[in-house]
Amino acid sequence: MAFLVRLLPLALAVALGPATTLAGPYKSPYQLVLQHSQLRGRQHGPNVCAVQKVIGTNKKYFTNCKQWYQRKICGKPTIISYECCPGYEKVPGEKGCPAALPLSNIYETLGVVGSTTTQLYTDRTEKLRPEMEGPGSFTIFAPSNEAWASLPAEVLDSLVSNVNIELLNALRYHMVDRRVLTDELKHGTTLTSMYQNSNIRIHHYPNGIVTVNCARLLKADHHATNGVVHLIDKVISTISNNIQQIIEIEDTFETLRAAVAASGLNTLLEGDGQYTLLAPTNEAFGKIPAKTLNRILGDPEALRDLLNNHILKSAMCAEAIMAGLSLETLEGTTLEVGCSGDMLTINGKAIISNKDILATNGVIHFIDELLIPDSAKTLFELAAESDVSTAIDLFRQAGLSSHLSGSEKLTLLAPLNSVFKDETPSINAQTKSLLMNHMIKDQLASKYLYHGQTLDTLGGKKLRVFVYRNSLCIENSCIAAHDKRGRYGTLFTMDRMLTPPMGTVMDVLKGDNRFSMLVAAIQSAGLTETLNREGAYTVFAPTNEAFQAMPPEELDKLLGNAKELANILKYHIGEEILVSGGIGTLVRLKSLQGDKLEVSSKNNEVNVNKEPVAETDIMATNGVVYAITSVLQPLANRPQERGDDLANTAREIFKQASAFSSASHGGVRLAPVYQRLLERLKH
């Protein structure tokens, strides 16, 4: 019996078939949107669909959940109207649309769905009406009356001037010699038309939009006795050329044509597949500085990346865009494709001048601006789009421009403009040396950096990588934005100027007069070797001022006891390197003494054990130094705090209570619970 129970779901699945699940029959995105529209319209009666109409236009859409709440399509406001769902009609005196439309042949159904112009042109041909009224099984993608009216006059004249050839062929191209419902109109499907077996290209998008040669399906699945009628918003025409052939034909693609030939991408653009080419016109190429354009055209890899950045991985008709979409290019970048009214936008710019030019292997949209990917840019060009212009000016003034515009593999550590809001360093030999240490001798990606890694700079220094929970730092400077990876160089945007280490911790302390008393104390405690050898330390270094703030007798006692002095100093030394950019809100750092230091950061101010830090991130080859203006005390050395005072008060209360109890009740003992509490408090 248990075996039969386990077998039942499999048997049902086989019986229901591939298009059906236990939850019900498969529904296409179009059908799901239609179902949502019907759900929103049910309060108005049976078979009523909510429809969104773009204000100021005749464009109507069945509504999905997102559009219902946003009440916008392509950024334009919409109004909600309610009308009969496809296949139903009103009955006088009754609510909603309770009656199914009577079935008639395809010709009669054209009039019902709002394609009377198609009926009119069908009548003008001698052969087509009898076919539409006769036996058989057909599908017609019928242009709406508005679609016919929007045809250019010269196109319409050529059709009606030769009705039994041109017009007949055009109408037959809209027909398929079998019944095809929307659940069969899958994305990328090709249907064979009744005109010379020419292909019709179907795209069915996740948002429920279905296109037929990039014409939008307005109302679908109107059944007829001899087939089905789908209403579309354009008159469609045959597709004969692939993308490469269209590039060869169009005069406005002269530069693009040469670029494609030089890159070798013509094989892709004339092959099988379904792509979207955002085709830059001659005008688009003309907007780029000649030096930049010539550099890219002369570099096969950069050129290929440039062109691949204009090719989307799937065919995207303009009618499918109802809001912003993130679409991946063959180059691997993501473009934000959106719309504003009737205009398509790329990354927020309305740069598409001509749309929906159909090819056998995709669709072309003409664009008037070049989309140069980071991978085809120099470091100078990457920096021009980042908030690092002040730093770039410094590199230029220091005579380092050739490193940022050539073919040298390197990574630039460029501080944000905000780093220089108070002061911009003047250019001298020292500044130039510092800037050269902001250039690493390899093209890196931050995601591959690891803790403890060392990086060689053009200035001859070795920089260390520190990886923390929420930050990635190179010495004292942390990465503030995503990498920009160019043709040869990568741009890291940094949160401060980098300070290369200039000796050991002991060297740093000896070289700063503020720490002369600390240096003497370290030597007395025998810790000089520790702070000179290789390691990873964070030293909270009390200044002379900190020692002088101690009571004289306490300071003399400390300095006269080498063991206690060593204990105190070890408490100021953390066992790892923690730069200020890695602190976050709070870090508990274990000291060489054993207790933990509480290091916190708020509003760019660092505190250790709630004491303010005077200066952060003084880098050394074996650690980092923080200047502090107080001497920190380990937990065991700290004076009694408020909690201890409360405990003393409690002891006194219980002593008095005990005395009172003995005096008043002839020496009766306190309750055991109080007695135990007193014993604990004594200890």
Look up the pTM and report it.
0.80
DSSP string, 151-210: S-HHHHHHHHTTIIIIIHHHHHHTEESS---GGG--TT-EEE-SSTT-EEEEEE-TTS-E
Helix (H) / strand (E) element for 617: namely strand 611-620
Alpha-carbon distance of 608 to 99, in angstroms, equals: 79
pLDDT of residue 587: 95
pLDDT of residue 15: 36
Q: Among residues of the chain, what percentage have pLDDT more than 70?
A: 89
pLDDT at residue 14 greater than cutoff 90:
no
pLDDT at residue 615 greater than cutoff 60:
yes
Alpha-carbon distance of 627 to 617, in angstroms, equals: 9
Q: What single-letter amino acid sits at 263?
A: S
Instruction: Determine the straight-line distance between the first and last CA of the chain, rounded to whole angstroms.
Output: 71
Alpha-carbon distance of 647 to 560, in angstroms, equals: 34
Question: Where is pLDDT greater, at 657 or 602?
Answer: 602
Mean pLDDT lowest for which of 36-40, 97-101, 570-574, 647-651? 647-651
Q: What is the pLDDT of residues 236-291, one digit of tens each?
A: 999 999 999 999 999 999 999 999 999 999 999 999 999 999 999 999 999 999 99
Q: Which residues contact 114 (CB under 8 A, 6 or more apart)?
A: 144, 145, 219, 231
Q: Give the closest residue to 468 by CA, choosing from 484, 457, 479.
A: 479
Question: Where is pLDDT greater, at 480 or 680?
Answer: 480
pLDDT of residue 675: 55
Q: What is the pLDDT of residues 308-317, one digit of tens each?
A: 999 999 999 9
Query: What's phi and psi for 357, nearest 5 deg?
Result: -90, 110
Block residue for tokens 């730093």: 391
Alpha-carbon distance of 46 to 30, in angstroms, equals: 20
pLDDT of residue 356: 94
pLDDT of residue 636: 66
pLDDT of residue 655: 57
pLDDT at residue 640 greater than cutoff 90:
no
Q: Give the closest residue to 609 by CA, choosing from 593, 625, 590, 633.
A: 633
pLDDT at residue 134 greater than cutoff 90:
yes
pLDDT grade for 683, boundaries at 50, 70 and 90: very low
pLDDT grade for 641, boundaries at 50, 70 and 90: very low
Beta bridge partners of 327: 335
Alpha-carbon distance of 96 to 43, in angstroms, equals: 9
Question: Chain centroid to CA 462: how far?
Answer: 33
Tokens, residue 539:
């030293």
pLDDT of residue 43: 94
Q: Give the closest residue to 376 by CA, choosing from 407, 345, 412.
A: 407
pLDDT grade for 639, boundaries at 50, 70 and 90: low
DSSP string, 525-555: HT-HHHHHSS--EEEEEE-HHHHHTS-HHHH
Q: Which residues contact 57 (CB under 8 A, 6 or more apart)?
A: 76
What count of residues does the chain have? 683
